[in-house]
Amino acid sequence: MLAAGGGRRLGGRPKALLTHRGRPLVEHAVGVLRGAGCEVVHVVLGAAADAVRERAELPGCVLVDNPEWAEGMGSSLRAGLASLAADPHGVDAALVLLVDQPGIGVEAVSRVRAAYGSRDSLAAASYDGERGHPVLFGAGHWAGIEEKAVGDRGARDYLAAHRDAITPVDCSDVAEPYDIDTEADLAHLE
């Protein structure tokens, strides 16, 4: 899970610590991943990493520091994939969920997770025909994704180059893919 952004459009408030349903967004996202059957959860932290560690309860998660978080989502994705590659559990795929999308719940994550077939799998949630999150990357794609993950584009360029290999997973009926990016978006939090 990626939770490293600085929240600059929110006045510098770390998104991971915004409250949703009585707990920080980072805890909510971990709960969604666990509810969908993800046993190994790596949380990439950047801005306000110390505050997240202090305030959020993340038992059993691997907390990954990304000191280069200001470069954008690409650096967080690279840090997360590198951490997964070193995980002693022998992880075969990464399922990426963004901390600022609380409208994506267990059902959507479960559907995308179920699209895993091999280390060569690529799958992404789709909403009304548009690719969104969560996204599943089989380990066979990690090196290529890390190479292309720069700035705020994350895996976008890699996925565009491998469009035909992506299994779309319709989640339009079970999730809302809005982002918490601006003050107005805070209305989505409960």
Three-state SS string over 77-120 comes to HHHHHHHHHCCCCCCCEEEECECCCCCCCHHHHHHHHHCCCCCC
102: nearest Cα among 3, 186, 25: 25
Are the beta carbons of 167 and 123 closer than 8 angstroms?
yes
Residues 20-77: pLDDT tens digits?
Answer: 999 999 999 999 999 999 999 999 999 889 999 999 999 999 999 999 998 989 999 9
Residues 72-104: pLDDT tens digits?
Answer: 899 999 999 999 999 999 999 999 999 999 999
Contacts of residue 48, defined as CB under 8 A and 6 or more positions apart, other chains included, come to 6, 14, 16, 17
Does residue 3 register a pLDDT over 70? no
123: tokens are 């799958």
Say what the pLDDT of residue 182 is.
Answer: 86
In the chain the first and final C-alpha atoms are separated, in Å, by: 21
For residue 136, what is the enclosing H or E element?
Answer: strand 130-138
Does residue 131 register a pLDDT over 80? yes
CATH of domain 8-179: 3.90.550.10
| Rounded Cα distance, 180 and 189, in Å | 8
Band of the pLDDT at 13, cuts 50, 70, 90?
confident
DSSP state of 149: -
DSSP state of 2: E
Say what the pLDDT of residue 30 is.
Answer: 97
Residue type present at position 100? D
Handedness of CA 121, 59, 182, 111 (dihedral sign): positive
What Å distances lie between residue 158 and 13, 30, 62, 72, 141, CA to CA?
Answer: 30, 26, 25, 16, 9
Average pLDDT, the chain: 93
When pLDDT is averaged across residues 157-173 and rounded to a whole number, the result is: 97
Are the beta carbons of 77 and 2 closer than 8 angstroms?
yes
Does residue 125 register a pLDDT over 80? yes
